[in-house]
Structure 1
């Protein structure tokens, strides 16, 4: 339980600015394409169930000079897939990026397949990369006459460095006279500390907090060369970020994570379980011999209501720290599932002073 509730009781450690912010305008781009995987071991699309596979296969063969119009072509070693990738910022033509392939038909496995040359488009419709290569599937599947087994997800896979960048995204960093640092977790105190340490580094006012999620920097005022040189100088600076007190609960796995700044007002907690059990045990009654009667079923029910002793009343003192909260809840001897209910109730009572997130 302590392992679930105690991420860290130490003070916030200094974090580099590069791990707290993004440079406004410096971003990647999502790419998508529609391609064909060949070389599968009979685990490809059924052409009758995925006619689009036949269409793209015929299109590829026609581009290669093979005419199959009117032919009955029904292979089981090809599969139509969606190909996705992320084009990182400052990617240059000729560089390589990873791609992910996912079956869109009724193929059962992509294991051992090879992706045929597939153009990857961005949101503007332009081709930015071309993908091709051997697929590394993430699972395995086996099937017999009366049983089958599937491990992982064999209908999805990756191709490391499987796409070559053909077009660059234009972004002239060197021409910027000002840049904005966007905080990943907006906070007034953190943004103010970032601006203060940058101004201290350059010895003049070059950075200013404009809102809790943005710090604006004047590149010309820094007098340190190009924007890239200025950013390289500040990204290693360290500050202690401030975060909101949070309690995060995952009901599916029973995981509870509480931040070090969580506080609880004075509250008393008790918890118990009430169990109602109803059992049906019908009795079959046979008629007397030679009485010409009928066999009847007589219902018989048993009901039992029990209340477990539960836990004793426990008091959590006011302004308790995370250590006190964990110690008090563990003293109740409850399971993680019961502790989730207790935390919900404490929050509903207004005694839990933290952002309460339930997933």
Structure 2
């Protein structure tokens, strides 16, 4: 029996019980998802910007006078204002050299604001109270696309005196919300002349790509979309729609589809969390863990409605799988739980007050035995 299960198990979780559910197909268990939530058009991307600047106004927590990069940077800045001060004569603990990072969206226009992150590049103790001086932000091609400036927001502090240090969070990293202004916009052309659109899935999957193509064809006409591979769906654009590309793409983005998901079990040993998603099933297996003994069996039966088959067109033969989970513990009560999913197994173990660490060990052993039909991700 297959069904979709998704649960989170913490160290003190599972005080409630669930009743067995009827088998459900992925289409019945999952709500449809918009195509725009599964990926993006090829060519849509953010561009990384980086800069090198100076933060001023620090209360003696900036770079030390022995930092040559800081002295040289401050000397260069003063030279732009007709002040000639050799780097050797620059002595200030209120200045720090920093690196600035930002992301330029695909459809950024001149005048848009960007959030920037400021990181200390020297030996400054804290950037609290500092202000970033005007700094150009460049892309990988060396061209300036934005200018950053403004007071820093630092979610921490660091104070020291006579060898005593009090610090909270990370005071050498700050941010400036909306601190950069775009000077050069980005022109994104999602559709080249005479070329079709290419929709790219965030997670490549042949089944999902095929379903997306079928859903688009059902909405816009047969032959419109074609899955090229596990992550790319090629969508043809009629000549009549090329002048109205925005509305055409909007129709594609709002097409509903049932994506397929790989069966995974994610285990976080640090927090004792187990998350299972997809059709995560367990084959017949017997487990012995300390005083705990678990047995999982499956019985397959064929339902043959011969009487109704001669009178009804919609009646057909069906294969039904009945599964049983037997859990026994010394000085404990055994119980039955239908279904062979990870959720049923973990809930059964939790009812016996099995420790989360032991449950994680059992799941890893079941995977090693080849009985867990899912990808096991250990974080």
TM-score class normalised by the smaller sequence: 0.7 to 0.9
**Counterpart among 356, 374, 377 of residue 336 in structure 1:** 356
SS at 1:200 equivalent: helix
1:321 Cα deviation after fit: 2.1
Aligned residue pairs, count: 318
CA distance, structure 1, for counterparts of residue 31 and residue 368 of structure 2: 32
**Counterpart among 22, 26, 43 of residue 25 in structure 1:** 43
The Cα offsets for residues 315-337 of structure 1, whole Å up to 9 and x where unpaired, read as 23346124322223324532222
**Counterpart among 122, 125, 130 of residue 108 in structure 1:** 125
CA distance, structure 2, for counterparts of residue 224 and residue 321 of structure 1: 49
**Counterpart among 204, 212, 220 of residue 202 in structure 1:** 220
Q: Which residue of 1 aligns with 2:203?
A: 185
SS at 1:190 equivalent: helix
CA distance, structure 1, for counterparts of residue 287 and residue 191 of structure 2: 61
After superposition, the Cα gap between the structure-2 partners of 1:70 and 1:150, relative to the gap in structure 1 and judged at 3 Å, is closer
Q: Which residue of 1 aligns with 2:142?
A: 125
| 1:347 lines up with 2:364 in the alignment | no
| 1:89 lines up with 2:122 in the alignment | no
TM-score (structure 1 length as normaliser): 0.83
Q: Which residue of 1 aligns with 2:97?
A: 80
Q: Which residue of 1 aligns with 2:189?
A: 172
Q: Which residue of 1 aligns with 2:306?
A: none
**CA RMSD in angstroms, aligned pairs only:** 2.2
SS at 1:173 equivalent: coil
SS at 1:59 equivalent: helix
Q: Which residue of 1 aligns with 2:320?
A: none
After superposition, the Cα gap between the structure-2 partners of 1:66 and 1:221, relative to the gap in structure 1 and judged at 3 Å, is same
Q: Which residue of 1 aligns with 2:24?
A: none
SS at 1:241 equivalent: coil
Q: Which residue of 2 aligns with 1:314?
A: 294
SS at 2:292 equivalent: coil
Q: Which residue of 1 aligns with 2:9?
A: 4
The Cα offsets for residues 188-211 of structure 1, whole Å up to 9 and x where unpaired, read as 221112111211222332111111
CA distance, structure 2, for counterparts of residue 208 and residue 13 of structure 1: 24
| 1:271 lines up with 2:289 in the alignment | yes
CA contact (8 A) 2:346 2:359 kept: no
TM-score (structure 2 length as normaliser): 0.78
CA distance, structure 2, for counterparts of residue 123 and residue 322 of structure 1: 47
CA distance, structure 2, for counterparts of residue 35 and residue 113 of structure 1: 12
CA distance, structure 1, for counterparts of residue 346 and residue 233 of structure 2: 37
85-94 or 258-267, which deviates more: 258-267
1:145 Cα deviation after fit: 2.4
Q: Which residue of 1 aligns with 2:345?
A: 325
CA distance, structure 1, for counterparts of residue 82 and residue 100 of structure 2: 25
Q: Which residue of 2 aligns with 1:288?
A: none
